[in-house]
Chain A
Amino acid sequence: MLSHWLRMQQIALIVLLWSIAAAAQTAGSTAGQSQSQPEGWEGGGYVIHQSVEIGYRVSDTTGSEQMYNTLVDLRSGPRFLEQSLSMQSQNHDGLLFDNLFVNSYGWGGDPNNGLRMRMDKNKWYDFRANFRRDQQDFDYNLLANPLNPPTSSPNIPVTLSPHNFGTRRRVSDFDLTLLPQSVISLRLGYSHNNMTGPSYSSVHEGTDALLFQNWNTTLNSYRFGADLKILPRTVLSYDQSLDYYKGDTTWQLAPFAQALLPGAPGTVELGLPIDTANNNPCAIVAPATSLVDSTGTLTNAACNAYFDYNRTNRTRTSAPTERLSLHSSHFQRLELTASYAYSSADMTAPLNELFNGLMQRSDIRQETVTGPGQATRISNVADFSATFHLSEHFRIVDTFRFWAYRIPERFSSIETDWTCLDTATCSLLTPISETTPSATATSSDLSFNQSWNRNQIDFVWDASKHFGGRIGFRFGDKVFHQILDFSTGDEDRVVIHEYTPLLAFWAKPTTNLRFNFDWEHTNNDDALVRIGPRKEDRYRIQGNYTPKPWAVLGASINLWDASNGDALTDYHAHNRNYGFTANLAPRERFGFDFAYNYNDTKQNALICFSDSNTSLPVVANAGNCTVNGYNDSKNPLLTNGDYTSSTHYGMGSVMFKPHARITAQVGYSITSVGGQTPQFNALQPFGSLQYNYHQPLANVAVDIGHNLTAKAGWNYYQYGEKSFVGPTDPRYFHANNATFSLRWAF
């Protein structure tokens, strides 16, 4: 790998020097000419411009390949980096189209690639399409990790995330508008969203097993719309859409900690958590000193474990939606927009689940669960907005939105358990013939309902070209009603009223200086969840200054505060962000780009928890959750569950042109994170709470004539946490990426 990297560096240096030499040779004949868009060429009555960039990427990683894939995921190989095509009819009356634009990037293995296309023929149609492919290789190994202690016997650390995935999402959107400028125009649309790929999950059946999750979901959306200009500047629209979702993800047992069965053929899967001191998946029975002996054989046959597990839950959701909307600026000084949509989604998801192994606590050797799941979502959405231009400087804006849905739900299952006849000797070795099956039918009938309406009225004043302001008020109602069991009448109902005054002003003392200020304060008289704020404040201050045409300076302050002052909750959260940017390009041959941002985040609430490690400060200093209104004997410890994080982000880059045909850039960015949070588990590292992420870069582009540009770029990535690793693989990595390419524009 290293020699390969060095060889590529040598090749890159040769290519770069050759390009510079070629550029220097042609400089004499083309001195004074600046790099500009090619003229294009004419063919078939069209003016055609194209560009294509092909290249090769070399990637070299040291350290955690998993973290590199999670954050960067750029691999070695040839690349079709970018392509563009533009065709414009010379007489604006092409046969099939007047204008065609196609642009795509990232072909050949990059994690992001996309294609956008626009095609139109004046007055007849406008067509837009885009395709995006998103590759996600996620493996942050602390996520969903049980953190097996090294003192366990056997010691089997979970080195990858049990919920890692390597999926590909492909999203396509097609939209066609027919007769766009006519009194009646039609809109047709189709979207396709498919996500597939291997991933992992986990399930709890006695103990917790790793599952291979073969991800496969598809959403197809079909759209039809019509716009009718019923009056001058008044359009009535009707839209019909159908979303059809298919969930075909399957789950099956994946190997993690396997052991041979004692005295019988075959292997058994012990599951993810191997913490024998806490009897996970079961206790070590003397005289054994390990759950798995030196031959790899399980020493306790009466152990939670899996022989087999598989599950399908094929989901089909059909959601047609109808929407009627109106927009009118027919009346002088008044603009109205209104719409109403009705949607009814029907979901079915029959479950088929098989577990074969042992659930120690209930002496179950095998379990199947089957049954249909159904839910319907009936949704009504209405919105209305009106703008009254009372004068040239003063207007009133009213915006109203209503959204209500109800979701009746039902899950009817039959669970069949094969329970050991003799519970005293029940073990993994007990054959199914020595169990008795018993079937239990359960049915859950629920309903999840919410209605939400909100109205905001603003008085907007544009005093002059130099300043203006806005004052407004927003109020809303939210009614949440969940029926957890129709038979018992178990239900929750919460009504929340929202009141939010708003204030804003803007100022432009000169044409190159502007300020914006926004403020809103929300009061809710109740909350649905503990971290649902009862009070919220937002402040935003922005400034932009352009002292020279080549200098753009910007600064912003964004403050968000939220709280729920209930005495048993005491929730507080804030996000305070301060940023500054500068973009300076005093000369064509030199430019400078700089940005700094500081973000301070906090989220805390009183929490009750259960923990036994008294060496942890959060446990040693905990209060009491069994008294004073908490009364939670299962979680007797009380603490302020506090998360604070501060992030510094800085970036700077310099662009310079040492020669008319050479453009170079060097830059650097860093994201530095620090913070604090209670440590509930001694093996839990701080992970993403404290780390640095460095990204220096350098690139050069050489115009070698004939519309050819040679490019070479180097990117470096370094991720390092400021905490111990934990009982898993280290997450540190650094990586060098080099990309060499040739761009031809014609």
Chain B
Amino acid sequence: MKTGRSYLQLLGLATIATLLFGVFRPAHAAPQEKGDATSQKDTAQYVGVDTCKTCHEELYKNNFENTAHFKTTLHDGHGCESCHGPGSAHVEGGGDVTKIISFATMSKQDANARCLSCHGEKHEQRHFSGSAHASNDVGCLDCHSPHKAKEPEHLLVRAQPSLCYGCHTTAKADFAKPYHHRVDEGLIQCSDCHNVHGTTTLRQVRAMPSGEAVCVKCHADKQGPFVFEHVPVKTEGCSSCHTPHGSTNPRYLRVSQVNLLCLQCHTFPAQGPAGPSHNQSTKYQACTMCHAAIHGSNASNVFFR
């Protein structure tokens, strides 16, 4: 099995190398023309924002000039045409929408590529093309609107978390549970824990530079390293015991009774660790009363302190 997997990995790498050097060529086209599916790029010329304003003045003043995209008009930028492509054919056609890039008619992939031609180099957006959102036909313009944004910071069509709740209805119910991360209260945003543009981790959960899950950014005391590590904290992750969005149980635990959670692992003999020798009818119905440093300890191999 191991040898077979090695061959498979080598085959995969060879395929990648062949494609890389034998099929793909450098993309010499200017960035704003990548993914240009509908513009008349062979003949159209740039006309400048002043020409665009003659017909789209209200849109320009109210929904472009006061956004971050205004920067595309400065320092030899093309402004509106940075996204919509050269506009001379559109102007000569009397405003013919087929002679300019219209995001309303483009495919999702083409629209994404257009945005990523500028934004794709940023650390946040680098993995978008391979993300779960992209492969489920959720594109840039499903969440962002350069002209009709309701949330100015990232030109979102709606503020978080209601934007995310539009599709992720389960999350809406989770954050409404009594014990929940304070997303609805505005303290935390979905994008604090998830990189919505994609990551190499599962569920697009952010990771710290050292590899740990993003939980330890706020819960810094749980990161360690500890002298005595509690194995599942490191091997299975925080979600082996907690439900991060929200829970009906205090401390966001997966079960209502702490001892049951502990006993489900601490039971001989299928695998270590050993079970307790305590009578559950007595004070020992609360494991963490004694085993208080349960996320890891620097002084006790049974997490007493």
Contact with A along B22-34 (1 / 0, CB 8 A): 0011111001001
A14 CA to B255 CA, complexed, in Å:
48
CB atoms of B223 and A245 under 8 A apart = yes
Chain B binder among A51-59, A456-464, A705-713, A738-746: A456-464
CB atoms of B121 and A233 under 8 A apart = yes
Whether A492 contacts B272 in the complex (CB less than 8 A), given A331-B24, A381-B209, A544-B166, comes out as yes
Residues of A close to B153: CB separation below 8 A? 101, 116, 118
CB atoms of B217 and A193 under 8 A apart = yes
Interface presence of A132 (CB below 8 A): yes
Set B9, B152, B210, B259: member contacting A345, Cβ < 8 A: B210
CB atoms of B130 and A385 under 8 A apart = yes
B1-40 contacts to A, CB under 8 A, are: 1, 5, 9, 12, 16, 19-20, 24-28, 31, 34, 37
Whether A569 contacts B210 in the complex (CB less than 8 A), given A373-B227, A680-B280, comes out as no
Interface presence of A632 (CB below 8 A): yes
CB atoms of A146 and B286 under 8 A apart = yes
CB atoms of A681 and B285 under 8 A apart = yes
CB atoms of A315 and B298 under 8 A apart = yes
Whether A373 contacts B178 in the complex (CB less than 8 A), given A597-B170, A607-B264, A677-B260, comes out as no
Interface presence of B147 (CB below 8 A): no
Which has the most chain B C-beta neighbours within 10 Å: A555, A631, A635? A635
Could you tell me the distance in whole angstroms from the C-beta of A459 to the nearest C-beta in chain B? 10
Interface presence of B54 (CB below 8 A): no
A728 CA to B99 CA, complexed, in Å:
75
A517 CA to B228 CA, complexed, in Å:
42
Interface presence of A581 (CB below 8 A): yes
CB atoms of A595 and B169 under 8 A apart = yes
CB atoms of B126 and A351 under 8 A apart = no
CB atoms of A345 and B272 under 8 A apart = no
CB atoms of A688 and B25 under 8 A apart = no
Give the nearest-CB partner of A525 in chain B: B1
Which has the most chain A C-beta neighbours within 10 Å: B26, B74, B248, B268? B248
CB atoms of B209 and A323 under 8 A apart = yes
Residues of A close to B186: CB separation below 8 A? 105-106, 112, 114
Interface band, chain A: 35 or more
Whether A569 contacts B136 in the complex (CB less than 8 A), given A193-B218, A603-B264, A641-B263, comes out as no
Residues of A close to B290: CB separation below 8 A? 202-204, 208
Interface presence of A566 (CB below 8 A): yes
A88 CA to B65 CA, complexed, in Å:
10
CB atoms of B135 and A504 under 8 A apart = yes
A531 CA to B266 CA, complexed, in Å:
10
Residues of B close to A671: CB separation below 8 A? 176-178, 248
Chain B binder among A272-280, A286-294, A658-666: A272-280
CB atoms of A146 and B173 under 8 A apart = no
Interface presence of A267 (CB below 8 A): no
Interface presence of B59 (CB below 8 A): no
Which has the most chain A C-beta neighbours within 10 Å: B123, B153, B210? B210
Main secondary structure of the interface of A (DSSP, over half): strand
A647-690 contacts to B, CB under 8 A, are: 647, 649, 651, 669, 671, 673, 675, 677-678, 680-682, 684, 686-689
Give the nearest-CB partner of B288 in chain A: A144
CB atoms of A480 and B235 under 8 A apart = yes
CB atoms of B211 and A379 under 8 A apart = yes
CB atoms of A145 and B176 under 8 A apart = no
Interface presence of B41 (CB below 8 A): no
B247-305 contacts to A, CB under 8 A, are: 248-251, 254-260, 263-265, 267-272, 275-283, 285-286, 288-290, 292, 298-299, 301, 304-305
A47 CA to B107 CA, complexed, in Å:
37
Whether A374 contacts B227 in the complex (CB less than 8 A), given A145-B286, A411-B299, A530-B264, comes out as yes
Could you tell me the distance in whole angstroms from the C-beta of A542 to the nearest C-beta in chain B? 6
Set A341, A556, A684: member contacting B285, Cβ < 8 A: A684
Give the nearest-CB partner of B109 in chain A: A462
A407 CA to B298 CA, complexed, in Å:
13
Whether A569 contacts B257 in the complex (CB less than 8 A), given A333-B24, A609-B275, comes out as no
Set B24, B224, B286: member contacting A144, Cβ < 8 A: B286
CB atoms of A369 and B299 under 8 A apart = yes
Interface presence of B116 (CB below 8 A): yes
CB atoms of B121 and A595 under 8 A apart = no
Give the nearest-CB partner of B168 in chain A: A556
Could you tell me the distance in whole angstroms from the C-beta of A87 to the nearest C-beta in chain B? 11
Interface presence of A284 (CB below 8 A): no
CB atoms of B169 and A581 under 8 A apart = yes
A376 CA to B229 CA, complexed, in Å:
12
CB atoms of A413 and B299 under 8 A apart = yes
Residues of B close to A201: CB separation below 8 A? 292
A353 CA to B297 CA, complexed, in Å:
14
Interface presence of B200 (CB below 8 A): yes
Could you tell me the distance in whole angstroms from the C-beta of A376 to the nearest C-beta in chain B? 7
CB atoms of B270 and A609 under 8 A apart = no
A552 CA to B157 CA, complexed, in Å:
14
A627 CA to B195 CA, complexed, in Å:
50
CB atoms of A688 and B256 under 8 A apart = yes
CB atoms of A397 and B210 under 8 A apart = no
CB atoms of B282 and A202 under 8 A apart = no
Could you tell me the distance in whole angstroms from the C-beta of A532 to the nearest C-beta in chain B? 6
Interface presence of A579 (CB below 8 A): yes
Residues of B close to A416: CB separation below 8 A? none
CB atoms of B218 and A169 under 8 A apart = yes
Could you tell me the distance in whole angstroms from the C-beta of A505 to the nearest C-beta in chain B? 9
Set A163, A241, A607: member contacting B292, Cβ < 8 A: A163
A527 CA to B271 CA, complexed, in Å:
9
CB atoms of A349 and B255 under 8 A apart = no
A480 CA to B236 CA, complexed, in Å:
11
A309-360 contacts to B, CB under 8 A, are: 311, 313, 315, 317, 319, 321, 323, 325, 327, 329-335, 337, 341, 343, 345, 347, 349, 351, 353
Can you list 12 A-B contacts (CB < 8 A)? A86-B152, A203-B304, A232-B27, A329-B116, A331-B25, A337-B127, A349-B298, A392-B107, A555-B169, A569-B271, A605-B264, A675-B256
11 additional A-B pairs beyond A385-B130, A395-B129, A460-B134, beta carbons within 8 Å, are A171-B218, A229-B121, A407-B229, A409-B225, A411-B228, A529-B236, A529-B265, A605-B264, A630-B269, A641-B260, A643-B257
Pick the 8 closest A-B CB pairs, nearest first: A597-B173, A343-B210, A680-B280, A273-B283, A146-B283, A373-B298, A634-B277, A349-B298
